[in-house]
Structure 1
Amino acid sequence: MARLTREESQALTRERLLAAAPQVVAREGYEGASIDKIADAAGYSKGAFYSNFASKDEFFLELLERHAGQDVVEIAQLLGDVSIPNDIIDRVTEWAADKASDPTWGILPLELFRQARRDSIFTARHANLFREQWRGVGALLMPLAPRWPDADHELLGAMVLELTYGAASAFNQGNGPSVGDLVRLALTSIHLAYGVPSAS
């Protein structure tokens, strides 16, 4: 097996650190998620962390940016070969139920946003991250609702993502409606209300 170059090794270390962080943040909160704990969870030393990131703030803002973009990519891949509304609803519902099964992904952005605002490291770019995500997901769902106002892609995407990552989903434990139930109901209702082109 060929040895990794220095650049490849550094990139791998960086990826492993970023991959380990969400679980640490979900368990410890932002304040408790120390560099030592993140590095240890990834199998590295604090020195390896600082070889890749200038500060904890820089690290977590990069993590936030990565998280904010991944849902659009995942849903686009799921819907790539689908055009039938019921199939779109089925796939997005399954995706939402799977995401909600791991509360880490609901806790992580809340912790990062709270800390970023408190420490004044929250820029206009970061403020728009999740709005861009909502717009991206909403655009992917437009085949369900051809009469939905084009300007409101953001509202449609926000509805699905906020139902998916809502804090209550982590405490459902099988009692009451699940995230999948809520997303399916919302998308089905939107399709019924906006899915049939109006008569000219």
Structure 2
Amino acid sequence: MTVARLTRTEQREVTRERLIEAAGRVFCRLGFEAAPIDVIAEEAGYSRGAFYSNFRSKDELFVALIARHLDAEVETLGRALDRIASAAELAPAIERRYRILGEDDSWCLLTTEFQLYTMRGGTKADEFAEIYEAYRRRLGQLIATHFDRLGIESSLSPYEFGVAQIALSHGLALQRAANRSLKPTLAARALATFVRGALAK
């Protein structure tokens, strides 16, 4: 049986995919600024030259990585919200979702690190800002859809609700990174408390 060979375009796409996946592991392990390009390339099984054939800089690679990660976050939360049938189930659903995220706070820390980096002159500041604002809007739209479906009213707009949710999860990840005696479930419990308070009449 003859195995079809990948075209040059397909090979390039495979290389990009492997570099992005490797970058996710290396960035989460070392942080954005401390992660060398050589280590990312080696993790993916390629040379430094292969990296620069696909990305102009580490910043460009991170933007591609975070765009993919945020897309997955919205999709995962959407599936979790699709499963609830009443307003009373919202806080427990959010708590379950953030219990899973609380077991690995590396993405919250990494996103915060890159946000600060771009605010201080990073080369992809505008692009990162656009991607992250699109994420906030999508999160707000998702929340609005389910608020309407479940007949939920809140003192916060769906957009504000989503922004507060992000701020709480990221802020608590930073606090836990500074104090590992804090329980990994703190973010989940705090967010559930926030949801109950935000929905209170």
TM-score over 0.5 (shorter chain): yes
> Is it true that 1:181 corresponds to 2:189 in the alignment?
yes
- Once the two structures are superposed, residues 4-29 of structure 1 have per-residue CA deviations (whole angstroms, 9 ceiling, x without a partner) of 33322322221221122133223333
CA 1:146–1:86: 2 relative to 1, 3 Å: closer
TM-score w.r.t. the length of structure 1 is 0.79
Q: How many residues align?
A: 192
CA drift at 1:172 = 4.5
> RMSD across aligned C-alpha pairs, in angstroms?
2.7
Which residue does the alignment assign to 1:8?
A: 10
CA drift at 1:2 = 4.5
Which residue does the alignment assign to 1:73?
A: 75
Which runs of 5 or more residues in structure 1 are unaligned?
A: 194-200
Using the TM superposition, name which of 132-141 and 34-43 deviates more: 132-141
**Correspondences of 1:82-101 after superposition (within 5 Å):** 82-101=84-103
CA drift at 1:182 = 0.6
Q: 1:134 aligns with which of 129, 133, 136?
A: 136
Q: Secondary structure at the match of 2:82?
A: coil
Which residue does the alignment assign to 1:110?
A: 112
Which residue does the alignment assign to 2:29?
A: 27
Which residue does the alignment assign to 1:198?
A: none
Using the TM superposition, name which of 89-98 and 166-175 deviates more: 166-175
CA drift at 1:177 = 6.3
> Contact conserved, 1:138 with 1:156, CA < 8 A, in 2?
yes
Q: Which runs of 4+ in 1 moved over 6 A?
A: none
> Contact conserved, 2:71 with 2:135, CA < 8 A, in 1?
yes
Q: Secondary structure at the match of 2:43?
A: helix
CA drift at 1:183 = 1.1
The 2-side partners of 1:139 and 1:83 are apart by 18
TM-score w.r.t. the length of structure 2 is 0.79
Which residue does the alignment assign to 1:197?
A: none
> Contact conserved, 1:89 with 1:187, CA < 8 A, in 2?
yes
> Contact conserved, 2:155 with 2:199, CA < 8 A, in 1?
no
One-letter amino acid of the counterpart of residue 197, structure 2: S
Using the TM superposition, name which of 169-178 and 102-111 deviates more: 169-178
CA 1:101–1:84: 2 relative to 1, 3 Å: same
Which runs of 5 or more residues in structure 2 are unaligned?
A: none
